[in-house]
């Protein structure tokens, strides 16, 4: 029994996206990995084709679609073998802050560009000395008349170089309550006092332009604050369910791609005159991988259905984020082992997939934090 019900419109959208990615993304994945960045023109092409911010209302240029469209984009992007064009981050993690909490003026100013790809977005939370601890954040935002002055730095910011618009988390230094001190602000590229640092060298996700961001007496209009002052923590918490669900979707889809590839590899690769897949040890390994992938798919599809129904599944998405990301790494490790000597070559598809999988246990909240959240809900 299928958990998710796709309409002909969903299926048509998936086919159009597959055609777009096959022509404009996948053929260039290797070059983007070498360049360590994706051309901004690809973001615009993807937006103009209607594949960004699919949940944004038509009045702002969007499709007004349900979360299944986001699921489709996340799944299909895993097949492209690149991570620089991180559409789900833009569409389903960053832009929802504007779409859900932004003033009407901010929505009309920025949402059409986010949909079209004119604005590539990033969210700046992580700091060199704070990591995942929002309460330890030191980036300051001080309101002066009709302006807000931001001072501080951020690190490990995805889309850091390509971003035209950044959602910045900063705190009022005069507010003692660390949670009530936090607010979210929109900072445009080119704003005086906003500078980008170096492109960070990473173990994986080479084509993703992850960078440092610096704010020194960076002045923005007070109207660029998202929501009420001091509500940043609540907004971040409100969107973490979807963010972690997106991560779980990406992890399961990535594991499915690895499992499909290694299955064919073992069928076609011969050792001592017979296919690897005829070895009982290899068969058992492949069955174990396939079982874990199916368990992950069933769990995530159920959570997607619950999310669409607007159920509170904070604990479940925390569990899913940690389990699926660790499952992805288990599948990648096992697949790499089955590749034998071929795993030493960059021509082996699993090598890149293995590298890219490692970060999944860290971003959007480390898996240790996910377990801590679930422990609290269990009354521990």
User: Which residues have a catalytic role annotated?
Assistant: 243
Burial of residue 92 (number of CB atoms within 10 Å: 0-12, 13-18, 19+)? buried
| Start-to-end C-alpha separation, the chain | 35
Angstrom distance (rounded) from CA 42 to CA 30: 15
**CB 134 within 8 Å of CB 208:** no
Say how many CA atoms lie within 13 Å of 62 toward its Cβ.
23
207, 193, 115, 195: which is closest to 158 by C-alpha? 207
The SS3 call for residue 154 is strand
133, 173, 132: which is closest to 152 by C-alpha? 173
**CB 93 within 8 Å of CB 243:** yes
Could you tell me whether strands 121-124 and 165-171 are parallel, antiparallel, or unpaired per DSSP bridges? parallel
Angstrom distance (rounded) from CA 160 to CA 354: 23
Angstrom distance (rounded) from CA 204 to CA 81: 12
Query: Vertex 364, ends 362 and 370: CA angle to 5°?
Result: 75
Angstrom distance (rounded) from CA 209 to CA 163: 9
């Amino acid at each position: 029994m299928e958990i998710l019900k796709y309409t002909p419109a969903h299926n048509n959208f998936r086919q159009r996206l597959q055609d777009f990615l096959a022509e404009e993304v996948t053929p260039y994945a290797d070059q983007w990995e070498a360049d360590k960045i994706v051309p901004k023109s690809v973001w615009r092409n993807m937006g103009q084709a209607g594949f960004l911010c699919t949940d944004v209302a038509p009045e702002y240029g969007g499709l007004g679609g349900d979360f299944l469209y986001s699921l489709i984009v996340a799944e299909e992007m895993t097949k492209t073998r690149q991570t620089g064009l991180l559409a789900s981050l833009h569409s389903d993690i960053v832009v929802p802050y504007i779409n859900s909490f932004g003033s009407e003026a901010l929505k009309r100013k920025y949402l059409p560009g986010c949909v079209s790809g004119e604005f590539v977005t990033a969210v700046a939370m992580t700091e060199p000395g704070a990591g995942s601890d929002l309460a330890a954040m030191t980036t300051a935002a001080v309101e002066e008349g009709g302006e807000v002055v931001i001072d501080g730095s951020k690190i490990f910011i995805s889309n850091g170089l390509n971003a035209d618009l950044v959602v910045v988390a900063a705190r009022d230094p005069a507010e003692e309550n660390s949670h009530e001190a936090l607010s979210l602000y929109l900072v445009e590229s080119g704003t005086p006092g906003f500078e980008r640092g170096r492109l960070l060298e990473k173990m994986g996700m080479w084509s993703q332009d992850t960078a440092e961001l610096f704010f020194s007496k960076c002045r923005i209009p007070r109207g660029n604050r998202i929501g009420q002052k001091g509500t940043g923590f609540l907004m971040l918490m409100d969107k973490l369910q979807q963010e972690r669900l997106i991560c779980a979707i990406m992890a399961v889809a990535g594991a499915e791609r690895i499992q499909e590839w290694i299955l064919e590899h073992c069928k076609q690769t011969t050792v001592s005159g017979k296919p690897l897949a005829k070895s009982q040890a290899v068969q058992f390994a492949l069955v174990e991988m396939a079982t874990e992938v199916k368990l992950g798919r069933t769990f995530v599809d159920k959570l997607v259905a619950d999310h669409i129904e607007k159920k509170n599944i904070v604990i479940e998405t925390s569990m899913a984020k940690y389990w699926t990301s660790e499952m992805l790494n288990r599948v990648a490790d096992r697949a790499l082992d089955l590749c034998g000597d071929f795993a030493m070559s960059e021509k082996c598809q699993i090598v890149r997939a293995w590298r890219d999988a490692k970060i999944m246990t860290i971003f959007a909240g480390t898996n240790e934090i996910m377990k801590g959240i679930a422990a609290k809900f269990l009354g521990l």
